[in-house]
Chain A
Amino acid sequence: MAGTESAVAPLVEMSGVSLAYGRGKEQTLALADATMNIAQGEFIAVVGPSGCGKSTLMKLVTGLLPATSGTVKVHGEVVKRPIKGVGMAFQNATLMPWRTTRDNILLPLEVVEPHKRRFRANRGEYVERVEKLLASVGLGGFGDKYPWQLSGGMQQRSNLCRALVHEPEILMLDEPFGALDAFTREELWGVLQKLWMERRFTCVLVTHDLREAVYLADTVYVMSKRPGRVILKREIELPRPRTLEDTFKPGFVDIVHDLRDRIHKEHA
């Protein structure tokens, strides 16, 4: 799909972006000279060793951190402050323990326009939307539960729902499945792929699980250790929907091995 979209301007353009924390001699470079384009509706994964600036990259794209040098453009406009209406999910589900799961997922609708101004009058309609979304990730009927009454995997499903409920153009996932057991993690890959295929949002997934990256992404970017540089861009042309069975087939395994080799070389 990258071929068909290349004519259109990409949604996110990063050119020569660096980020340094601290000042003067204390300064450490977290990300060096990152250049990448993300097309509308593309699913990219960023992999690399821990501390390589993957999460930094994510904060730069959403404008939560200003770049030290280089430019980040979204929709052709330079990002200077947090861009609005992005969906975000982290490894830690950060659901609010004082709200039920349903109310947690309603939160973005209370904050993001145009839902915010319609929220009070149309609460019923929004609750229905949340129930549908919950059902689609296998959490139907759990809306009344508090997050702390849910298992880790269920919390992470709710977290995905919260990130998607306002139908954001961009979804940012920072190791969302990192704290889960292998079975739950693989199950949630399927959930995420299904949601993405239905809605085709632009997605940036930060992970250090290579299988996860190859399973989910259209394009995988490999980063070096700190200061992080993009050292490889690899397009994954496997057909969708991909299944867990596929992840053990030669075509898939070869790609994972390639990527792993590249990362190992970088470390040597």
Chain B
Amino acid sequence: MTDAQRNALKLAMPWLVTIAMFAIWELACIAFNIQEIVLPRPSRIFAVSVERWSILLDFCLQTLWTTAIGFGLAIIGGVLIGLAIGASPFVYSGLYPLLIAFNAIPKVAIVPILMIWLGVGAAPAIITAFVISFFPIVVNVATGLATIEPEMRDVMRSLGASNYEILTKVGIPRAMPYLFASLKVAITLAFIGSVISETVGGNRGIGFLMLSAGARNDTATTFAGLFAIAIMGVLMYALCAWVEKRMTGWAFRGELVG
């Protein structure tokens, strides 16, 4: 195999594997005569997706924007708290246990509370997306700051740099790759958050669509919703990965030149 062929195959692999998975699924449904209400065939799911295209797109966009806003808030909040925790041992010891406790709470449990406070609609979905996705950002940003090499710190201190200068000149650039790595995790979590909220109590969005289709025994539409979330998740992940490469190319450096 030539190098060009190897590269082409590498690029084609995700598509080939996905197609193979669908083919096996389709064949299994036919071979074992599985009823559509239990597990619809992929071809049925695609047909339903095309049939109900406009409502799917509409609800996808709903879920996408609530997720995006929640995610955006999580980046802002996560970076600020992460910087505070990473830069100050006092903030760290004060806030960290609380954050861990908060992160351990199943987010499903807070949606009903949010609905009591904010009513049904976009607000609970945004907030759920926020609370579920900001923790990994906090932890990663704090880790980036906490792992500054002691020698680097000594160099800065012996130059007479203030703590603020050490933070801005060393800490923040150093935390950037950690931040972007966490964004890839956080964006998929944010989708989970907004969909959970829509499922527990919403009147729009993919989560709501799946729940109501499920109630009508319309399994094919439920699966169409799942696919829609998965596709949005992959696209947003790819966007984060692209931004990461653009912003912190130095962190992806190859081997040191001998």
Residues of A within 8 A of B (CB): 59, 62, 64, 82-88, 90, 92, 94, 96-98, 107-108, 110-113, 146, 148-152, 162, 166, 172
Contact, CB under 8 Å: B157 / A148: no
Which of A86, A97, A150, A162 touches B257 (beta carbons < 8 Å)? A150
8 A Cβ contacts from B201-243 to A: none
The CB with the most chain A CB atoms within 10 A, among B152, B155, B257, is that of B155
Closest 8 CB pairs of A and B: A84-B160, A86-B158, A148-B253, A90-B151, A111-B159, A94-B152, A111-B161, A94-B151
Which of B154, B169, B248 touches A88 (beta carbons < 8 Å)? B154
User: B170 at the A/B interface (Cβ < 8 Å)?
Assistant: yes
User: B89 at the A/B interface (Cβ < 8 Å)?
Assistant: no
A82-B160, A98-B250, A148-B250 given; A88·B155 CB < 8 A: yes
Contact, CB under 8 Å: B253 / A97: yes
Q: Smallest CB–CB gap between A108 and chain B, Å? A: 5
Q: How large is the interface on B (under 10, 10 to 19, 20 to 34, 35 or more residues)?
A: 20 to 34
Contact, CB under 8 Å: B158 / A64: yes
Please name the residue on chain A nearest to B170 by beta carbon.
Answer: A96
Q: Smallest CB–CB gap between A57 and chain B, Å? A: 14
Contact, CB under 8 Å: A85 / B160: yes
Q: Smallest CB–CB gap between B174 and chain A, Å? A: 8
Query: A146 contacts which chain B residues (CB < 8 A)?
Result: 250, 253
Alpha-carbon gap, A59 to B154, bound state (A): 9
Contact, CB under 8 Å: A151 / B159: no
Which of A87, A92, A152 touches B149 (beta carbons < 8 Å)? A92
Alpha-carbon gap, A130 to B39, bound state (A): 68
Contact, CB under 8 Å: A82 / B257: no
Query: B155 contacts which chain A residues (CB < 8 A)?
Result: 88, 90, 94, 162
User: B251 at the A/B interface (Cβ < 8 Å)?
Assistant: yes
Q: Smallest CB–CB gap between B258 and chain A, Å? A: 6
Contact, CB under 8 Å: A88 / B149: no
Contact, CB under 8 Å: B257 / A149: yes
Between-chain CB contacts (< 8 Å), 25 pairs: A59-B154, A64-B157, A82-B160, A84-B159, A84-B160, A85-B159, A86-B158, A88-B158, A90-B151, A94-B151, A94-B152, A94-B155, A96-B170, A96-B174, A97-B250, A98-B173, A98-B174, A98-B176, A111-B160, A111-B165, A111-B169, A148-B250, A148-B257, A151-B257, A166-B159
User: B115 at the A/B interface (Cβ < 8 Å)?
Assistant: no
Task: Return the CB mask of B128-171 against A: 1 if under 8 Å, else 0.
Answer: 00000000000000000000010110111111110001000110
Please name the residue on chain A nearest to B248 by beta carbon.
Answer: A98
Q: Smallest CB–CB gap between A103 and chain B, Å? A: 11
Alpha-carbon gap, A97 to B248, bound state (A): 10
A98-B248, A98-B250, A110-B169 given; A62·B158 CB < 8 A: yes
Query: B151 contacts which chain A residues (CB < 8 A)?
Result: 90, 92, 94
Query: B253 contacts which chain A residues (CB < 8 A)?
Result: 97, 146, 148-149
Query: A107 contacts which chain B residues (CB < 8 A)?
Result: 159, 169
Query: A62 contacts which chain B residues (CB < 8 A)?
Result: 158
Could you list 19 further interchain pairs (A-B, Cβ under 8 angstroms) beyond the known A111-B169, A112-B159?
A64-B158, A84-B159, A86-B158, A86-B159, A90-B151, A90-B155, A94-B152, A97-B251, A98-B176, A98-B248, A98-B251, A111-B161, A111-B165, A113-B160, A148-B250, A148-B257, A151-B256, A151-B258, A152-B256
Please name the residue on chain A nearest to B149 by beta carbon.
Answer: A94
Query: A87 contacts which chain B residues (CB < 8 A)?
Result: 158
Please name the residue on chain A nearest to B160 by beta carbon.
Answer: A84
Query: B160 contacts which chain A residues (CB < 8 A)?
Result: 82, 84-85, 111-113
Query: B165 contacts which chain A residues (CB < 8 A)?
Result: 111
Alpha-carbon gap, A161 to B33, bound state (A): 75
Alpha-carbon gap, A150 to B253, bound state (A): 12
The CB with the most chain B CB atoms within 10 A, among A88, A110, A152, is that of A88
Contact, CB under 8 Å: B157 / A82: yes
Please name the residue on chain B nearest to A63 by beta carbon.
Answer: B158
Please name the residue on chain A nearest to B152 by beta carbon.
Answer: A94
The CB with the most chain A CB atoms within 10 A, among B158, B170, B253, is that of B158
Query: B157 contacts which chain A residues (CB < 8 A)?
Result: 64, 82
Query: B250 contacts which chain A residues (CB < 8 A)?
Result: 97-98, 146, 148
A90-B151, A92-B149, A98-B173 given; A111·B248 CB < 8 A: no
Query: A149 contacts which chain B residues (CB < 8 A)?
Result: 253, 257
Please name the residue on chain A nearest to B157 by beta carbon.
Answer: A82
Q: Smallest CB–CB gap between B46 and chain A, Å? A: 45
A90-B151, A94-B149, A151-B258 given; A82·B173 CB < 8 A: no
Query: A84 contacts which chain B residues (CB < 8 A)?
Result: 159-160
Please name the residue on chain A nearest to B156 by beta carbon.
Answer: A111
